[in-house]
Structure 1
Amino acid sequence: MSAVTAGAQGGPKGQAAPAKSTPEAAPKISSQPVANKGLITVSIMLATVMQVLDTTIANVALPNMQGSLGAAQDQITWVLTSYIVAAAIMTPVTGWLSDKIGLRQLFIASAAGFVVASMACGLSTSLEEMIAFRLFQGLCGAALVPLSQTVLLNINKPEEHGQAMAIWGAGIMVGPIVGPTLGGWLTETFNWRYVFFVNLPIGALALAGMIAFLPNTPKRQRGFDFFGFAMLSIFIGALQLFLDRGEQVDWFSSPEIWIELGLAVSAIWVFVIHITGAKAPFIDPKIFRDRNLVMALVMIFVVGMVLLAGLALLPPMLQNILGYPVVTTGLVLAPRGVGTMISMIVVGRIIGKFDTRLLILTGLLLTALSLYQMSGFSPQMDQTPIIVSGVVQGLGLGLVFVPLSTLAFATLEPRFRADAASLFSLLRNIGSSVGISIVTVELAHNIVISRSELVSGLNPFNPNFTEALAAMGGMGANQTTALAVLNQQVQAQAAMVAYVDDFKLMMIITLCAIPLLALMRPKPKGAGPAEPGPAME
């Protein structure tokens, strides 16, 4: 059982009927009465926002870091990769650690470690130091998101879980969107080190609140499948490296990629064989008998792809094609976060009044609509299409996230929730990495194809080309300059066509997820709106 049950009361009250009291049975989840619930919520959400901001806040500062740390182009990306890999590996073990040492203790230790690591990152003087501290930061930060959700579920009554998850989801979804904006402003106003130093005041407030108000929870001793965890960790680490490094080393032309792919395939194969035969596996294979959970895992994978893949595409498009500065890029993308917060607030109030599948369907359709709008982008557009499509997409993703986490756990046996929550979080993160890799590869491929098609018509035998060249003053000595200007325009057009093709691909992927809703069962009538389970643990 996960840490979410730590606040459940033992004894006859709250236990299942005697006939079902087997060693695997779990106590019914109940809220843990606490004082200062509002202050606890603020404290843990500060810690959550601090962690999710760091998934994107450092991206825009990489060029500045590269010069300061004396790193090459292919080396500086390890600042991002090291953090992602460390956090991904530690996420599945959060539930076991919270039972082993206590939720309060793990939460405070993780937040303190994250703050210390952030300060160390900001003080780094070499690439080696930065990578080491980012690894430590990822290891500490991995527990913050699942633990914050667990605490919110523990301190709120079942009928309040919907609103609690909406608050939590707003922090999870808005953080990556705000990250580039805040990171760009800090880098331009101060320097790149402040993208890490900004965590110090936030973390200090979060720690003060948690130390003062976070309640203690009972510890629970349980076995740990070290071999299963090792195989899953190797799979996650190798897969993340495969996805993050592929573009930089030209994918399968590099021995490194083949090694990482081989490790990933071998590790997941051994892991699957192991859990099907082990007496106490790291993840019980019976969990996959629940149809709602399996479908939700597929859909959260898609949500991860669409959310962060879109965020990976838009900043370079706005800066390189439309010429927006970093701060303007962040401001134009900010309404996306506003849309997400609005839908999160609304869904927290209506989640128990409508079929949860209908809310998810509406969210997916809005997300697909936003991607359709983005497929109409052009180099000559103003900011309106970007803002409108961003708000629509924010509304759509917000309508998907909380209802999906609710429905994923609606029919699942309570004893499986810890493992299911780990998988839910893991699939969202892997979906983000896969999505970014797919759109990046397709972007580079489509730019080459689009440019080739555009250039094929630019020759002396095309009267339109010669007329355009003459209009630009491209005759005689000015011809070289005119051709250079024309080449830039062709490159911009080819890049925009490639971006549009990526948006169309993401729209198709989103629409393909909709039929999965037909395979999911509605939330039981008597369950209420509030048993979503620890959706991110």
Structure 2
Amino acid sequence: MTAEPIDDPAEATRPDALTRALILTTLTMVTALYAMTVTIANVSLPQMQGALSATTDQIALVVTFNIIATAVATPMTGWLAARFSRRTILLWGVSGFTVASLACGLAPTLELLVVARVFQGAFGAPLVPLSQAIVMDSYPKHQQGSAMAIFGMGVVLGPVLAPTIGGYLSEVYNWRWVFFMIVPCGLAALAGVAIYIQDRSKAGSNYLDWTGFLTLAMFIAAFQFMLDQGERLDWFDSATILLCGAVAALMLYLFIAHSLTAERPFLDPKLLLDRNYAIGLLLVFVFGMLNFTPMTLLPALLQGVRGYPDSIIGVVLGARGVGTLVGFFFMFWGSKLDPRPTLAAGFALQGIAGWYMSQFSINLTTFDVLWTSALQGLGVGLVWVPLTVVSFNTLPREKTSEATAIFHLVRNFGSSIYISIAISIALNSARVNYAEMTAHARPTNEALQFQDSLFRVWSLDGAGALAGLSGEMARQAAMIGYLNSFYAFTLTSFAVLPLMLLIRLRR
């Protein structure tokens, strides 16, 4: 079916132009504040591990439980906004998020740090969906593209700027400052919300479909834990992973069955009857898969293969932010164009960037990473605005809060799934290639026998020579693993292009 646009709400219900600009500025800051925490902790994980005397598996819980808390709390956004009003939830969300960030920086033990990260994820989960819903409701249809171009900077640039600033602060001071830096930003955002966000409307309903919420929350928590810990626990050779997989499958079945039969389900499946919104969910799932994957792989590649320090890696990744800014600035004008070619161009640019990344040599230069990261960032900037406009253009206004919660839940879900897949590809490929290389490290190998006598680099004579050769083989194998992950990234980027043909627009 072809979805027809709904009538635009009366202009009398919208704030004036100056108020809209202040609301947009405030909510962009709120969004950037939360988005920073997506990647900021990753920069300092090695420092946290040493300072808190934790193992690799234990320190990974700092990231894992934050993601799980965010994923579980995000679907509650629609009900919370209807029950308590958007303004109330934003005030409590920003306040709790800021206090939790301070608690993260002050945490004396790993256990307290993990608990603080759980609260940080739970309080921060409603911020992005509610902010997007308020921005879209504040602007008429013909201005939503330009507004979302500004708002999208907070969504996408936060995770880009955070590693740059966080890497510098952690080197100059210590890991606690990556959380302390959030506190003044949180206080500024709280002041902006208190002054400029006046949306106190609420449905007033006390009803909550607890069956739907609990089954969805348990599915998300079990599946997310399985993804985050699967590689460390050797996937389905682990009883823990098998249990998580079984629980996730059962809870997903119960959630779907209940949602299709309940009179008032937790998440309304009728939203999927809107053609553009359903296609938008597929596209934002793939967008989430592609968005942060290079940012996850490149720091490990640059540090492990090339020996870059944290501060330099942060600066290099900042090139992605430059490309994203260019994309958003283009969308101030490009938002008036047919969104389908722009969407296709954005995904294609990410695919091209992924292809060139898959051609990196082991001696890649800083410039190689800079321009490919900027190209991928440009693709992100071109995708976000038309994707948002297409997905929500034909939905009724009263469904915006619930629809944005699902939209961002799907985006985060795609990110977590694909990051786990990319890391698994890289690690498994590295192990396989290292095993193949070691089979050739034998005295009969002519490459070892006929090295120039003046420049004899590799040798099997002695433990030191064997250790050096083993280290180089591990480095080469790791590089092959990263390249295979970039190949998968490229294929995913191009595979989504046919979906553009399914989008229907009013002529």
Q: What code does the residue aligned with 2:124 have?
A: G
1:123 has 2:109 as partner: no
1:281 is matched with 265
Residue 158 to residue 192, structure 1, CA distance change in 2 (3 Å): same
CA distance in 1, matches of 2:314, 2:413: 25
1:323 has 2:307 as partner: yes
2:43 is matched with 60
Structure 2: tracts of 5 or more residues without a match: 1-5
SS in 2 for 1:365: helix
1:408 has 2:391 as partner: yes
1:187 has 2:170 as partner: yes
The within-5 A match list for 1:130-529 is 130-222=113-205, 223-352=207-336, 354-414=337-397, 416-468=399-451, 470-473=453-456, 479-522=462-505, 524-525=506-507
How far 1:132 moved relative to its partner? Answer: 1.2
Q: What code does the residue aligned with 1:362 have?
A: A
How far 1:240 moved relative to its partner? Answer: 0.9
TM-score calculated relative to the size of structure 2: 0.93
CA distance in 1, matches of 2:378, 2:409: 24
CA distance in 1, matches of 2:458, 2:75: 65
2:3 is matched with none
SS in 1 for 2:107: coil
8 Å contact kept, 1:371–1:503: yes
Residue 350 to residue 259, structure 1, CA distance change in 2 (3 Å): same
8 Å contact kept, 1:55–1:176: yes
SS in 1 for 2:451: helix
Residue 432 to residue 243, structure 1, CA distance change in 2 (3 Å): same
Residue 457 to residue 234, structure 1, CA distance change in 2 (3 Å): same
8 Å contact kept, 1:372–1:507: yes
CA distance in 1, matches of 2:17, 2:200: 12
SS in 1 for 2:365: coil
Cα deviations by residue, 1:54-88 (Å, 9 ceiling, x for unpaired): 11101121121122223222111111111111111
8 Å contact kept, 1:469–1:482: no
Cα deviations by residue, 1:440-461 (Å, 9 ceiling, x for unpaired): 1111110122223333333222
CA distance in 2, matches of 1:475, 1:431: 43
Q: Tell which deviates more after alignment, 278-287 or 408-417.
A: 408-417
Structure 1: tracts of 5 or more residues without a match: 1-14, 17-25, 526-537
How far 1:204 moved relative to its partner? Answer: 1.3
Match of 2:53 among 70, 78, 84: 70
TM-score calculated relative to the size of structure 1: 0.88
8 Å contact kept, 2:77–2:401: no
Match of 2:16 among 24, 30, 33: 33
Q: What code does the residue aligned with 2:362 have?
A: P
Q: What code does the residue aligned with 1:242 have?
A: M
Q: What code does the residue aligned with 2:264 have?
A: A
Q: What code does the residue aligned with 1:294 have?
A: A
SS in 1 for 2:44: helix
8 Å contact kept, 1:165–1:348: no
Residue 306 to residue 240, structure 1, CA distance change in 2 (3 Å): same
Cα deviations by residue, 1:362-405 (Å, 9 ceiling, x for unpaired): 11111100001101111212112111111110111111111111
8 Å contact kept, 2:220–2:248: yes
Q: What code does the residue aligned with 1:151 have?
A: I
Q: What code does the residue aligned with 1:303 have?
A: F
Q: What code does the residue aligned with 1:512 have?
A: A
How far 1:158 moved relative to its partner? Answer: 3.2
1:96 has 2:67 as partner: no
Aligned residues: 500
Residue 407 to residue 461, structure 1, CA distance change in 2 (3 Å): same
Residue 40 to residue 421, structure 1, CA distance change in 2 (3 Å): closer
CA distance in 1, matches of 2:479, 2:458: 29
8 Å contact kept, 2:324–2:374: yes
8 Å contact kept, 1:162–1:349: no
8 Å contact kept, 2:216–2:251: yes
CA distance in 1, matches of 2:339, 2:449: 60
8 Å contact kept, 1:34–1:155: no
How far 1:96 moved relative to its partner? Answer: 1.6
CA distance in 2, matches of 1:302, 1:476: 47
Cα deviations by residue, 1:399-452 (Å, 9 ceiling, x for unpaired): 111111111223445554443322211111011110011011111110122223
CA distance in 1, matches of 2:132, 2:388: 11
> What percent identity do the matched residue pairs reach?
36
8 Å contact kept, 1:240–1:433: yes
8 Å contact kept, 2:144–2:389: no
2:92 is matched with 109
Residue 472 to residue 452, structure 1, CA distance change in 2 (3 Å): farther
Q: Tell which deviates more after alignment, 493-502 or 454-463.
A: 454-463
CA distance in 2, matches of 1:41, 1:405: 16
Residue 393 to residue 265, structure 1, CA distance change in 2 (3 Å): same
